[in-house]
Structure 1
Amino acid sequence: MPWNEIFLLGRRKSKQPCEPGASGAGEQHTLQDTRAAIEELSQAVRNNPESVEIYLALGNLYRSQGEIERAIHIRNSLIARPGIDPALKARSQFELGRDFRRGGMLDRSRQAFEEASVVLGRTEEIELELARLAADSGEFERAAEHYGRMGRALAQAHFLARQAGEHFRLGDAVLGDKFLKQALTVFPASPEAWLASVVQATVSGNIELLRVSLKNACANIPAPQRFLLLEGLLEALSAARVDNGGGTGAKALEPSRISELVQASVQVLSTFPPDTLLCYYCAKLCLFEADLESAKHWLEKSLVLNADFWLARLELVSLVLTDQDLTHFLRDQMAYFISHARKSKRFVCQACGFRWDRTFFVCPRCRSWHSILFRQEFS
């Protein structure tokens, strides 16, 4: 029986009826499916011990279940088998590299992938695995090289920007600028690279550089992704208020310099055609400096553009709450509601629906690049 049919047989055998409404029923079905497939493949191996493909499939199932030692044992037994076809041996080494990576053995994983590439060549599969290994090891420049060989400019720019950030953190602005230029040459719309440029200008207190970087960033980054830049700008301004700048090695900036940075940012953003998020972040910048009247103005503009933008409405309610003649009890209830509503996850992956309260460039669930959106409408 072909091994792919064994998978289907395993799924059919595992479908037992479950109690309606039982907790975790979907997860239980998945576990049963995998275990049934493992049993069928194990039986197929006993019946046909020479079938390398079945061994590979069984090892993959063990890895998916987290049984790394069993998966590694299967790969090693195949690699040591005398007379095995070189291509199948290389495929076993490739899967062994994946096993090692899943088990956290990064050096051994890289070695296995390199050995597989001797026969298989530098395929995109191998380049991708090596790129992920380099990224996991903090070798961002090497990761960028691997993505560059695959022609993935977006990911290449991402890791060049991260390498630039490392140099900025260590105080080497020359090397940091060099890697940023490389990133923007590879992918001019890279929000990661522009963000690194804006953050560096902010924590160093360079107002003119911030103006230029922020203007060029907003001109090059697609409007739906600008919030990634502006979220980072607010974080950098917060970091500039304390010594060591959130790990950047920078000293705290004078309050007057921070005010100038905020004013410069709002002035630059005001030159672009208004959109809902741009107005919202202008309001957030004004709130950063406790400029409540300007913040109200920008929040109202944001709601004119999108009356259903829940977060702008929430901030506006919070601002006008102090002007209302409310009982102490009602004021406390409103404050409680607002504080908890602010904790709602603002960011969502448009590819898989994953929600998070922090920005991300790669979805933690489905690994999609730049799939993040700001949830403007509350649901």
Structure 2
Amino acid sequence: MESEFSWLLWGLPIAFVLGWMASRLDLRQLRIENRQAPKAYFRGLNFLLNEQQDQAIDAFIEAVRNDPDTSELHFALGNLFRRRGEYERAVRVHEHLLSRGDLTRADRQRAQHALALDFLKAGLLDRAEDALRKLEGSIYESQALLALLAIYERTRDWPRATEIARRLQARGEADFGPRLAHYLCEQAAQATSAEEAERLLREAMHVAPSSARPALELAALLRRAGDDHAALDCLTEVAQRVPRAAGLVAKPLADSALATGQLERAVRTLMDMQQVAPSLDVLEALVRLEQDSEKSRELYVRHLEREPSLVAATRWLAGERLEHEELHPLLQRSLEQAVKPLTRYRCAACGFEANQHFWQCPGCQAWDSYPARRVEEL
């Protein structure tokens, strides 16, 4: 009995000492790990600032191993993977974050947004769409809607693009009226009936009164239906409402005038447009409607008095007689070749040039980036 009591007296202090030593070892190990994690983190930041991404990734991986519960390290690592084009690794990092049960609501939304960006960069549009849809109601909702809009434009899903544009317009983020009008015009081009196409175009005119495209496409639709009088009324109205689109309105206006015989009305409209802003396209439309060849040449001279133009000079010279008339065709061909680049349209966003006007640049995909004026007039 006494021996058992003596062992108990000796055992309690020994157990206490062993427990104290174990706690000291745990604390020491914890301090070592805590020192190692910040060192690896700051080493990674240093590599990143020096644009040494490979070394930065290695440092962040080491930091994550030392402290796997730190979400900031995961975000930094995932963003680095995405910037390097290692989208599969970036997806794994952000999906691992989302699988954690201790993640705060703000960090969960941030991880969901980062995952959506990973899918977008990787070109996995269906998975990106699903990830972006889950951000509804979060602080990233506006960014998610803009990304969805880009996806639907890229896939030419105009009904869904229209839906997103309406939501963004309702949020008051910016004026999406012109973009919405383009989506409605694209749907009108795909419509199965003329009635549906006309309804969509008139809706586009309502949501974006300052846009010329809906009226121009409505006039073309009316002309195809044989209603040239209504087309002329539509074109006359848009010429007055959107004067900057004069160059695009001029040719179809002249076509409708010739079809209906209302030449004087069209000439008055075109002359008013030319007085406000001289344009090569308006000039060519006036020349087409002018019955007198002498007056047509005077139109070129009047334009040259206001605006120096190699294109207009070339057109005027085509009807003149030269001293050495046998050289005229050779000279005319040379001038026509020289002015070809001047008659193109140029994107104001990326500089892409084309022989025809585009509502959406085929180079940079920007909307309304092509002025309705030729290169020579810019």
TM-score (norm 1): 0.68
Q: Deviations over 1:209-238 (max 9, x none)?
A: 1111101111221x333334447x49x96x
Question: Quick check: 1:284 aligned with 2:284?
Answer: yes
Q: Deviations over 1:312-356 (max 9, x none)?
A: 333333x336x3354656733540442353134633344565544
Instruction: State how 1:1-379 maps to structure 2 within 5 Å.
Output: 1=42, 7-10=48-51, 36=52, 38-49=53-64, 50=70, 51-63=73-85, 68-69=87-88, 71-80=90-99, 83-117=102-136, 120=138, 123-151=141-169, 152-167=176-191, 170=192, 172-221=193-242, 223-230=243-250, 233=252, 259-260=258-259, 266-267=266-267, 269-270=269-270, 272-275=272-275, 279-285=279-285, 293=293, 295-307=296-308, 309-317=309-317, 319-320=318-319, 323-326=321-324, 331-332=329-330, 334-344=332-342, 346-350=344-348, 353-363=351-361, 369-373=367-371, 374-375=373-374, 377=376
CA-CA distance at 1:303 after TM superposition: 2.4
Q: 1:203 to 1:70 in 2, by over 3 A?
A: farther
Partner of 1:247: none
**More moved, 290-299 vs 42-51:** 290-299
Q: Deviations over 1:107-149 (max 9, x none)?
A: 222112112336x267221111122222233332321221222
Rounded to whole Å, the distance in 2 between the matches of 1:225 and 1:5 is 53
Amino acid at match of 1:146: I
**More moved, 80-89 vs 197-206:** 80-89
Tell whether the 8 Å contact from 2:43 to 2:56 is kept in structure 1 after alignment.
no
Q: 1:311 to 1:62 in 2, by over 3 A?
A: farther
The DSSP-based 3-state class of the residue aligned with 1:138 is: coil
Q: 1:304 to 1:329 in 2, by over 3 A?
A: closer
Runs of 4+ displaced beyond 6 Å: 2-5, 287-292
Tell whether the 8 Å contact from 2:246 to 2:282 is kept in structure 1 after alignment.
no
Tell whether the 8 Å contact from 2:247 to 2:279 is kept in structure 1 after alignment.
no
Rounded to whole Å, the distance in 2 between the matches of 1:133 and 1:164 is 20
Partner of 2:11: none
The DSSP-based 3-state class of the residue aligned with 2:272 is: coil
Unpaired segments of 5 or more residues in structure 1? 11-35, 238-256
Rounded to whole Å, the distance in 2 between the matches of 1:370 and 1:9 is 40
Amino acid at match of 2:184: L
CA-CA distance at 1:180 after TM superposition: 1.9
Q: Deviations over 1:66-98 (max 9, x none)?
A: x65555455444444564444334334334434
Tell whether the 8 Å contact from 2:74 to 2:93 is kept in structure 1 after alignment.
no
Tell whether the 8 Å contact from 1:310 to 1:378 is kept in structure 2 after alignment.
no
**More moved, 108-117 vs 74-83:** 74-83
Unpaired segments of 5 or more residues in structure 2? 1-41, 65-69, 170-175
The DSSP-based 3-state class of the residue aligned with 2:341 is: coil
The DSSP-based 3-state class of the residue aligned with 1:360 is: coil
Q: 1:212 to 1:107 in 2, by over 3 A?
A: same
Tell whether the 8 Å contact from 2:180 to 2:204 is kept in structure 1 after alignment.
yes
Rounded to whole Å, the distance in 2 between the matches of 1:9 and 1:156 is 44
Rounded to whole Å, the distance in 1 between the matches of 2:261 and 2:74 is 63
Q: 1:92 to 1:363 in 2, by over 3 A?
A: farther
CA-CA distance at 1:208 after TM superposition: 0.9
CA-CA distance at 1:305 after TM superposition: 2.7
Q: 1:39 to 1:290 in 2, by over 3 A?
A: farther
Amino acid at match of 2:244: P
The DSSP-based 3-state class of the residue aligned with 1:272 is: helix
Q: 1:367 to 1:121 in 2, by over 3 A?
A: same
Equivalenced residues, count: 321
Tell whether the 8 Å contact from 1:201 to 1:209 is kept in structure 2 after alignment.
yes
TM-score (norm 2): 0.69
Identity of aligned residues (%): 19
CA-CA distance at 1:291 after TM superposition: 6.6
Q: 1:341 to 1:74 in 2, by over 3 A?
A: farther
- Which protein shows a greater Rg? 2
Q: 1:77 to 1:57 in 2, by over 3 A?
A: same
Rounded to whole Å, the distance in 1 between the matches of 2:165 and 2:341 is 36
Rounded to whole Å, the distance in 2 between the matches of 1:91 and 1:315 is 61
CA-CA distance at 1:258 after TM superposition: 8.7
CA-CA distance at 1:104 after TM superposition: 4.3
The RMSD of aligned alpha carbons is 3.9
